[in-house]
Amino acid sequence: MTTWITVCDTCKRDDWDAEKDQITDGEKLADAIEAAAAASDGAEVKTRRVACLMGCAHSCNIAIQAPGKLAYTLGKFDASAEAAEGIVDYAKMHAASETGQVPFREWPKAIKGHFITRHPPLPDAE
């Protein structure tokens, strides 16, 4: 089953300067995540960009989601290759997990301390 990495491409860190920065921090992080995902050997992870995840106090933000699994919002990332690789590695572990839960000891170092929320999967029926 595919796990999606949803990246807020409008995120701006506190030190972002519209006068000197041509693209947002979120766009930089999205570029890095897309590159890391493309270089990854797993087709079980896909990426998409959205205009806002409404987590401005925690930028840069991403969400890890798959149908029927726990979903996570992570934030406070630098737009770095290291962060992107950790996010993609975690998403691959999420995809491999039946429930979406990944044991803490297996988390990549780059994502530790970045979890904001966890959402249970939606019920199958009302």
- Residue pLDDT, tens place only, 31-68: 999 999 998 776 689 999 999 999 888 889 999 999 99
76-102: buried (b, 16+ CB within 10 Å) or exposed (e) per residue? bbebeeebbbbbbbbbbbbbebeebeb
Contact 11, 78 (CB under 8 A): no
Q: Provide, rounded to the nearest whole percent, the portion of the chain with pLDDT above 70.
A: 98
Overall average pLDDT of the 66-85 stretch: 96
Mean pLDDT of the chain: 92
pTM of the model: 0.93
Strand, helix or coil for residue 71: strand
Structure confidence at residue 94 (pLDDT) = 97
Q: How many CA atoms lie within 13 A of 126 on its CB side?
A: 0
pLDDT score recorded for residue 39: 87
DSSP E strands in the chain: the ranges are 3-8, 45-50, 62-65, 71-74, 115-119
Residue 79, pLDDT above cutoff 80: yes
Structure tokens at 35: 């590159």
CA distance 39 to 118: 27
Residue 42's pLDDT is 65
